[in-house]
Amino acid sequence: MSDTKAETAYKSLSSILTNTPPSSQNPASSLLYDPEISSQVSALLRHPNSGAGDDNLCRWLYDTFQSSDPQLQLVVVRFLPMIAGVYLSRVTLRKPLAGFEAVLLALYSHETTSRKGQSLTVNVPDLSHPSIYHESKAPSKNNATDLNLAVISPSLEPHGTVRSTRRARIVGVALELYYSKIPQMPVGSKIEFCEFCQAWAGQDGDMRKDGNGGDEVINQKEGISKEGRIPLPWELLQPVLRVLGHCLLGSNKKNKELYEAACCASRSLYARSLHDINPNAILATGSLVRLAKMGLDSQNDQVDHTEVPWTRVISL
Amino acid sequence: MADSGEYEGDDDGSVRELCANGACMKAAEVEAKLDEGNIQEAESSLREGLSLNFEEARALLGRLEYQRGNVEGALRVFDGIDLHAAIQRLQPSFSEKSASKKCRSRSDSHVSVSQHAASLVLEAIYLKSKSLQKLGRLTEAANECKSVLDAVERIFQQGIPDAQVDNRLQETVSRAVELLPELWKQVGCDHDAVAAYRRALLSQWNLDNECCARIQKRFAVFLLHSGVEAGPPSLGSQVEGSYVPKNNLEEAILLLLILMKKYHLGKIKWDPAVMEHLTYALSLCSQTSILAKQLEEIMPGVFLRSDRWNALALCYSAIGHNDAALNLLRKSLHKHERPNDLMALLLAAKICCEDCHLAAEGIQYARTALSNAQGKDEHLKGVGLRMLGLCLGRHAKVSSSDYERSRLQSEALKSLDGAITFENNNADLFFDLGVRYAEQRNLSTALRYAKQYIDATGGSVLKGWKLLALVLSAQQRFSEAEVVTDAALDETTKWEQGPILRLKAKLKIAQALPMDAIETYRYLLALVQAQRKSFGPLRSLSQIEDDKVNEFQVWHGLANLYSGLSHWKDVAICMGKARELKAYSAEMLHTEGKNWNFILTYEISNLNLHLLHAWKVTSLASFNELEDLYVYVMSTGVMHEECGQTHEALRAYINALLIEPSYVPCKVLVGSLFSKLGPKALPVARSLLSDALRIEPTNRKAWYYLGLVHKDDGRIADAADCFQAASMLEESDPIESFSSIA
């Protein structure tokens, strides 16, 4: 049944895109991974008049997400960086953006339902209590650990419209959903995300780059304007930083382009945190920047401890 | 280690050899045979030369091939041995196992015999796995590697004996434990990787500290960044009473904290990346107080001390402990440390600009920051200017003379205007400028910035709406201000609407629509009550702070409104409802101030003047918020004043002043009272009112009373000036002080 859903979605997208892609054996997977389709959808989303209430693509994204087919939902989530990026940068222009908002609200309410509106918390461990990974001799007063309960995502209320004071939260929660699906996201989507981080930061992070080779990179990146700068309250910045952490450190540097985009985004957001003099953000982004730098420095001289040492005499 | 590279390096004279059973053979001889593709011959020459059995010879050959980088050859050699059969043979049979419990010495000897054989077989499988990894056959590599661990568990069912373990066996086991999760990660089987990490860390492998630390760190990084939700560990690994992490972040933080502890205990080397990952994780949870504790525990010498102070300052500032943060920054900005560190300077300036007694210090930091924002840091010039402007503006509030104040204020505006040339898209600057201009009653400019702020933030920040409404109200454009509050109500959710509703009520009063105002207050009260009931304990602190409506202020506003109308019947109705709330709130609430205000309302309705007595029996500490206390005490004073009990009123006001000497409304009231006490008191009144005007030059009541004082003293010209100031200010008086939103 989901195949037919995917086929329907594939067909209706074909009618929206300019270059109709040939029909596919595995429509759900093509929608998610086909670079040709992605680039066409991205181009449409970036179009200056996109995102209005009557935008066909937004309607398609909304309908596709509401199909409640997990594979198809991934397709919509895949385009979240682009949707959120264009949307947040364009909010200040007072353009009609109801199409984008409908998609974002759909993602938000999906997350609200699946979490039953509950907040996400972290119980920061206290090492004086024994854990599965360590022993402790301290007398264990039972369950005194909940002193360090941290709320990483507050409870969710249902929203039928995007009220502007809740905009950052709604996008932030949509990004939490994106983060939970991130292992399935194609690299292109993550790169788009990193590029929007830079735009949102509105700071040329490369100015912060230490030492050699900096000039060259600055010239390359001059194209990124400060136009996209948006307010970055913690409820938006925190999920952004979680996604960025994955882009930078989660994928084993398999993809050089993504890694570099993530490095640039980290530097930009670090610079922005300094501009905002936001201590929490300075700590988080600063550590990302330093970890990226450590990664580059230690790329060549890392000892592989799983390697068998070379010996002159081979014995039993 | 690069095998082929090392291999080529052996021309330097050292001859590589194969040794076993006390005999040696040159590796080159065997290699020649292997190069011809003749494994059997190579094998038999080894068996003869070194008196080995088939499996031993093969294992040795495989190792040789592997070491010279011929992993395909190594695989061919290993494929010739039935490794799994060998493992089968190594496993203790059931009878032996039960026997081993009865007769320990026998089983020990068995273990030592089988250790050598096990080492041989396991190393062979491990090398096979490594060979497969190098050929990119990752799934096969992972399965082989896993079979090493399975075999170890089957052969050594009681765990590896740590006392007499064969070194080489232990090395193979450690390597396999470390390799397996990495292989699964390379394959892309994230859940197998999680299982392998947990197996590595939760089973007894007798790993050395560094090896265990490497695995713990990699697992923590994987949990933090892979995006794969690992799920809680299986029940089997849980020990009664021990902490079990229930999600990725908890598990990662636990592992990183354990690594920090191991470092403190001297068990492992310092790894800066661990601290960075921990910083990232804890700052994402806003748990920087725990981070600060970690930073404090690190031994001197690991960090540059100024770096540590700066990091600690960030941690403390992030949780609002600005005093502690500033003290640390003072240390790190000392001239013998790093007085030019931009981040530290800016943070220090920001902390200082929030307190008028620190603002002068902040000006210095901001100036130093400005002069150091050069080269790659030039982009921070605008931030430096902004901080300078804010500190100057704050400092102006405590300046000793008019001249000084106006100089500081114009400098502050100049800095902020300068900042905007660097950061023409920084919304916060629009807001700062809007407030600053509004405070100076340059209302049209303030209006422009307030609008720009709303545009730049897309209306997402409540204080932007408040600023716009206040500026409009100061321009006496009340109906437009109301349009703004209505727009703001559209853009906010129910829970955040409190402050806007309060503004709206005040706007209604300003437009002489008291009944509408009462309606708005009623709605506001309903909201406050609903809010208290529905907020669970798990809302973040900031969320509560942002949304909170000061209930006391609501009641106070309502009381004022009713008493102004002399609608005592309505007051009584309102009071009845409040009484219910009081009974109810005694258990539920801690806001004592609200209860007292209830009494206040009650007293007003009965024109009963036992308030002061009521106040005396209350311990001051029972008020949660000082601000509420001033309002309360002042209201007491107002009551007395209205009833002609000047001295009683004065006593209440002075009490309020003792609590907060620079509380302007109270100073003005005391000043006005003194002005009525006859000619002798006039100088006191004048000094109090001048003082109030020093702190808040735009207080029109102060100007008015000062005018009265001048008039009574016969200084008619001065009096006229004061009255003119008062009347001009009245035309530009916002319904609420601008400083209430800054």
SS (H, E, C) chain A: CHHHHHHHHHHHHHHHCCCCCCCCCCHHHHHHHCHHHHHHHHHHHHCCCCCCCCCHHHHHHHHHHHCCCHHHHHHHHHCHHHHHHHHHHHHHHCCCCHHHHHHHHHHHHHHHHHCCCCCEEEECCCCCCCECCECCCCCCCCCHHHHHEEEEECCCCCCCCCCHHHHHHHHHHHHHHHHHCHHHCCHHHHHHHHHHHHHHHCCCHHHHCCCCCHHHHHHHHHHCCCCCCCCCCHHHHHHHHHHHHHHHHCCCCCCHHHHHHHHHHHHHHHHHHHHHCCHHHHHHHHHHHHHHHHHHHCCCCCCCCCCCCCCCEEEC
Q: Which of B80-84, B332-336, B365-369 has the lowest mean pLDDT?
A: B80-84
Contacts across the A-B interface (CB distance below 8 Å): 279
CB contact under 8 A, B67 and A311: yes
Does the pLDDT of residue B106 top 60, yes or no? Answer: no
Does the pLDDT of residue B588 top 80, yes or no? Answer: no
CB contact under 8 A, A275 and B347: no
Structure tokens at B251: 């598990």
CB contact under 8 A, B383 and A275: yes
Contacts of residue B77, defined as CB under 8 A and 6 or more positions apart, other chains included, come to: B39, B58, B61, B62, B65
Kindly state whether A249 is in contact with chain B, defined as any CB-CB distance less than 8 angstroms.
yes
Kindly state whether A113 is in contact with chain B, defined as any CB-CB distance less than 8 angstroms.
no
Helix (H) or strand (E) holding B395: helix B381-396
User: Phi first, then psi: what are they for B335, rounded to 5°?
Assistant: -65, -20
Q: Which residue from A21, A43, A19 is spatially nearest to A31, judged by alpha carbons?
A: A21
Find, in chain B, the residue whose alpha carbon is nearest to that of A167. Answer: B460
For the question of whether the overall pTM of this predicted structure is more than 0.90, the answer is no
- How sure is the predictor about A299, in pLDDT bands with cuts at 50, 70 and 90? low
Which residues numbered 93-112 in A keep a CB inside 8 Å of some CB on B?
Answer: 94
**Alpha-carbon B495 to chain mean position:** 24
Residue B491: list chain A partners with CB under 8 A.
Answer: 163-165
List pLDDT tens digits, range A172-213: 999 999 999 999 999 999 999 999 999 999 886 554 444 444
List pLDDT tens digits, range B199-255: 999 888 888 999 999 999 999 999 999 988 888 887 666 667 788 888 999 999 999
CB contact under 8 A, A183 and B190: yes
In this prediction, what percent of chain B has a pLDDT beyond 70? 76
Calculate how close chain B gets to A189, using CA atoms only, in Å: 15
CB contact under 8 A, A271 and B59: no
List pLDDT tens digits, range A107-120: 999 999 999 999 89
Tell me the average pLDDT across B566-574: 58
- How sure is the predictor about B33, in pLDDT bands with cuts at 50, 70 and 90? confident
Find, in chain B, the residue whose alpha carbon is nearest to that of A247. Answer: B225
Does the pLDDT of residue A282 top 90, yes or no? Answer: yes
**Amino acid identity, residue B181?**
P
Other Cβ atoms closer than 10 A to B13 = 5
Contacts of residue B566, defined as CB under 8 A and 6 or more positions apart, other chains included, come to: none
In this prediction, what percent of chain B has a pLDDT beyond 90? 39
Q: Determine contact, residues A239/B401, Cβ cutoff 8 Å.
A: no
Question: Quick check: helix, strand or coil at residue B23?
Answer: strand
Tell me the average pLDDT across B403-421: 92
Question: Quick check: helix, strand or coil at residue B26?
Answer: strand
Tell me the average pLDDT across B653-674: 72
Does the pLDDT of residue B289 top 80, yes or no? Answer: yes
CA distances from residue B115 to B29, B152, B207, B281, B620 in whole angstroms, order as listed:
30, 10, 17, 43, 77
Which residues numbered 633-692 in B keep a CB inside 8 Å of some CB on A?
Answer: none
Task: Quote the pLDDT of residue B179.
Answer: 95
List pLDDT tens digits, range B394-408: 998 888 788 898 899
DSSP per position, B591-645: -HHHHHHHHHHHHHHHT---HHHHHHHS-GGG-S-HHHHHHHHHHHHHHHHHTT-
What mean pLDDT, rounded, does chain A reach? 84
Q: Which residue from B544, B510, B549, B557 is spatially nearest to B730, judged by alpha carbons?
A: B510
CA torsion through residues B330, B378, A90, B459, sign? positive
Task: Quote the pLDDT of residue B88.
Answer: 77
Calculate how close chain B gets to A270, using CA atoms only, in Å: 11
Distance (Å, whole) CA B669 – CA B641: 10
Task: Quote the pLDDT of residue B42.
Answer: 86
Tell me the average pLDDT across A234-241: 96
Distance (Å, whole) CA B119 – CA B99: 24
What mean pLDDT, rounded, does chain B reach? 80
Question: Quick check: helix, strand or coil at residue B231?
Answer: coil
CA distances from residue B394 to A265, B20, B354, B356 in whole angstroms, order as listed:
35, 83, 7, 5
Calculate how close chain A gets to B120, using CA atoms only, in Å: 7
Q: Which of B75-89, B247-261, B705-719 has the lowest mean pLDDT?
A: B75-89
Structure tokens at B443: 């209302």
Q: Determine contact, residues A76/A61, Cβ cutoff 8 Å.
A: yes
Task: Quote the pLDDT of residue A197.
Answer: 95
Tell me the average pLDDT across A219-247: 79
CA distances from residue A68 to A2, A28, A274, B81 in whole angstroms, order as listed:
10, 13, 42, 52
- How sure is the predictor about B101, in pLDDT bands with cuts at 50, 70 and 90? very low
CA distances from residue B391 to B337, B409, B718 in whole angstroms, order as listed:
24, 10, 33
Calculate how close chain B gets to A15, using CA atoms only, in Å: 34
Task: Quote the pLDDT of residue B591.
Answer: 29
List pLDDT tens digits, range B129-156: 999 999 999 999 999 999 999 988 888 7
Pairing state of beta strands A120-123 and A149-153? antiparallel
Kindly state whether B315 is in contact with chain A, defined as any CB-CB distance less than 8 angstroms.
yes
Q: Determine contact, residues B306/B334, Cβ cutoff 8 Å.
A: no
Selected residue of A100, A115, A122 to mutate for chain B interface (largest B Cβ count, 10 A): A122
CA distances from residue B160 to B106, B167, B173, B292 in whole angstroms, order as listed:
17, 12, 10, 40
CB contact under 8 A, B536 and A152: no
Q: Determine contact, residues B281/B313, Cβ cutoff 8 Å.
A: no
Distance (Å, whole) CA A188 – CA A33: 9
CB contact under 8 A, B459 and A165: yes
**Amino acid identity, residue B711?**
K
Tell me the average pLDDT across B44-55: 84
**Alpha-carbon B505 to chain mean position:** 36
Tell me the average pLDDT across B511-519: 87
Distance (Å, whole) CA B492 – CA B464: 12
B124: Cα within 13 Å, side-chain hemisphere? 28
Task: Quote the pLDDT of residue B502.
Answer: 86
CA dihedral B205, B209, B211, B217 (to 10 degrees): 110
